[in-house]
Chains A and B, each alone.
Chain A
């Protein structure tokens, strides 16, 4: 028989596992965390994989709307990669705001009607300042009214003849990268339809 100290040493890692797995289950149920991530052992159980989650970001300006190549922006730095992964896995205001912080640290250029990452900003600007977005070959900053963030997941069940996109959530932020608001808060649990 193990004594009390030995039993504690044996149980400490399993108890952390249980605590984290229970938390992951509750986050998946209430906040649409992808079941594949978060340490809850939900891999190979649900079709809602992180890899299948697609983020669509659109910049709305006075002269038109421009989709952002956000998936190409993700690998630009360790910080952007972390923020991007976290926001896709758990689409909540805190994590989307982290990604917005990263976006506002960069210079953006509109090329063939798509906003793409150009370089990191030289100044100390960030959220609270206008997003440095320009048309290629122009110096003027485009006035951004707001930026729309949407995340889609895969929905599928037996007998369906199609894989359907399910909107995990939609948020909107103003032109300064602040005041992030949830547009569609109907986060559904296994809605799939």
Chain B
């Protein structure tokens, strides 16, 4: 039996597209080539120094636009000075003073109130300050950034694995139902009523009323939320574990882009849902420091992600976008 191959007749549209591409590609090619060369060209100076030039600036921008409220006036002044005064950003004493002021500012007390990204920010400033005093300071900071991110994610994964309500989706069930940050997202895409998170959080808040004997609060998790939460939990653990492994494993140079890739996947998967933007910006800054990508690729990637995260802090805008995307996807 002979099996013939039937090829569809090439349509006029395809022929026209092909001829247009042939006509226009020589005109665009030089621009593409120039753009590609700009991206992949390795400027003078070693990797670590280029990475530090980017990461230290992002650190100061983070300090300028996302400083905790109690850090006093020194924070924006120090950040602006570091960005504006030539040579200050490479000055070891400048970083020692900034780190010292930051560590001993009122914001670090009470320490049991600090969020995890506040701790990570303290470690990051300490790492910058300490590494400024060794000869190959940027190489040392590159290692410190990689280890800090890796260990932070490792412990985040450990917690998610040992908490019995996480992997089965219970944590996300409650969080969608009682935390406005996620509850609003669920409401925006039609998974639950708009006031669910607010009313549940308010009921939990009633436990604080003086003289109250806290009573159980009836809660109804919508079918849509209950369906998605176990998958969300597993996806979170897998992504965070991937970041931890990529950052802690001593990868060969050709595999190190996995660190950048895993971090970008984490940011894209996490922050539209849980907009703890300050944490995201800090992680992106540290990931930029350890990155072994070509300098311009690194700058383009991390500045883009950093800027996108900053836009996400405009919560209502982000929710409108999410709603629009969901509608488009469904339709």
Interface residues of A (CB under 8 A from B): 2-3, 5-7, 9-14, 16-18, 20-21, 25, 33, 35-47, 50, 52, 54-58, 67-71, 78, 81-82, 85-86, 89-90, 113-115, 152, 154, 156-165, 190, 192
Closest residue of B by beta carbon distance from A87: B112
- Nearest-Cβ distance from residue A64 to partner chain B, whole angstroms: 12
A161→B222 CA distance, assembly (Å):
11
- Residue ID in chain A nearest B166 by CB atoms: A45
Q: How far is the CA of A13 from the CA of B122 in the complex (A)?
A: 9
| Residues from 219 to 247 in B contacting A, C-beta threshold 8 Å | 219-220, 229-230, 236
Given contacts A14-B151, A17-B152, whether A2 and B211 have CB atoms under 8 Å apart is: no
Shortest Cβ distance from residue A95 to the other chain B in the assembled complex, whole angstroms: 8
In angstroms, Cα B245 to Cα A26, docked, is 23
**Known contacts A9-B133, A9-B134, A46 near B171 by CB under 8 Å:** yes
Residue of A nearest to B161 (CB): A45
Set of chain B residues within 8 Å of A115, measured between Cβ atoms: 210
Q: How far is the CA of A16 from the CA of B114 in the complex (A)?
A: 16
Number of interface residues of B (CB under 8 A): 68
Are B200 and A163 within 8 A (Cβ)?
yes
User: Does the CB pair B124–A13 fall under 8 Å?
Assistant: yes
- Residues in B with CB closer than 8 Å to A17 are 119-120, 123, 148, 151-152
Q: Which residues of A contact B112 (CB under 8 A)?
A: 33, 37-38, 50, 85-86, 89-90
Question: Which residues from 94 to 146 on chain B have a C-beta closer than 8 Å to any C-beta of chain A?
Answer: 106, 109-110, 112-116, 119-120, 123-124, 126-127, 130-131, 133-137, 139-141, 143-144
Query: Is A42 within 8 A of B216, CB to CB?
Result: no
A163: B residues at CB distance < 8 A: 174, 178, 200, 203-204, 216-217, 219
Out of B131, B134, B174, B229, name the residue touching A47 (CB < 8 Å): B174
Q: Is the CB of A12 within 8 A of B163?
A: no
When the two chains form their complex, are residues A158 and B208 in contact, meaning their CB atoms are under 8 A apart? Answer: no
Which residues of chain B have C-beta atoms less than 8 A from A192's C-beta?
A: 164-165
Contacting B113 at CB < 8 Å: which of A14, A37, A43? Answer: A37
Contacts of A16 in B (CB 8 A): 123, 126
CB-CB contacts below 8 Å: B152-208 with A: 152-153, 155-156, 158-160, 163-166, 168-171, 173-175, 178, 200, 203-204, 207-208
Is there an interface contact between B127 and A162, defined as CB atoms closer than 8 Å?
no
**Bound state CA distance, A36 and B115, in angstroms?**
7
Given contacts A35-B159, A81-B110, A157-B164, contact A6 B136 (CB under 8 A): yes
A-B pairs with lowest CB-CB distance, top 3: A67-B211, A165-B214, A158-B170
Q: Which of A2, A6, A40, A86 has the most CB of B within 10 A?
A: A6
Contact check, A114 vs B214: say whether CB atoms are below 8 A apart: no
Of A46, A156, A165, which is within 8 A of B215 by CB? Answer: A165
CB–CB B130/A2 < 8 A: no
CA distance A9 to B136 in the complex (A): 10
User: Given known contacts A6-B139, A162-B216, A163-B200, is B147 in contact with A54 (CB within 8 Å)?
Assistant: no
| Bound CA–CA A161/B221 (angstroms) | 8
Enumerate 28 A-B pairs (CB-CB under 8 Å) in ascending A order.
A5-B134, A6-B135, A9-B130, A10-B141, A11-B147, A12-B127, A14-B151, A16-B126, A17-B123, A25-B155, A25-B158, A40-B116, A41-B155, A41-B156, A42-B155, A44-B160, A44-B175, A45-B166, A54-B208, A54-B214, A56-B213, A156-B170, A158-B168, A158-B169, A158-B230, A163-B203, A163-B204, A165-B207
Q: A47-B165, A158-B165, A164-B216 are in contact. Are A14 and B170 (CB under 8 A)?
A: no
Given contacts A2-B139, A161-B220, contact A13 B127 (CB under 8 A): yes
Asked if B207 and A152 make an inter-chain contact with CB atoms under 8 angstroms apart, the answer reads yes
Q: How far apart are B163's CB and chain A's nearest CB, in angstroms?
A: 5
Q: Which chain B residues border A57 with CB–CB below 8 Å?
A: 210
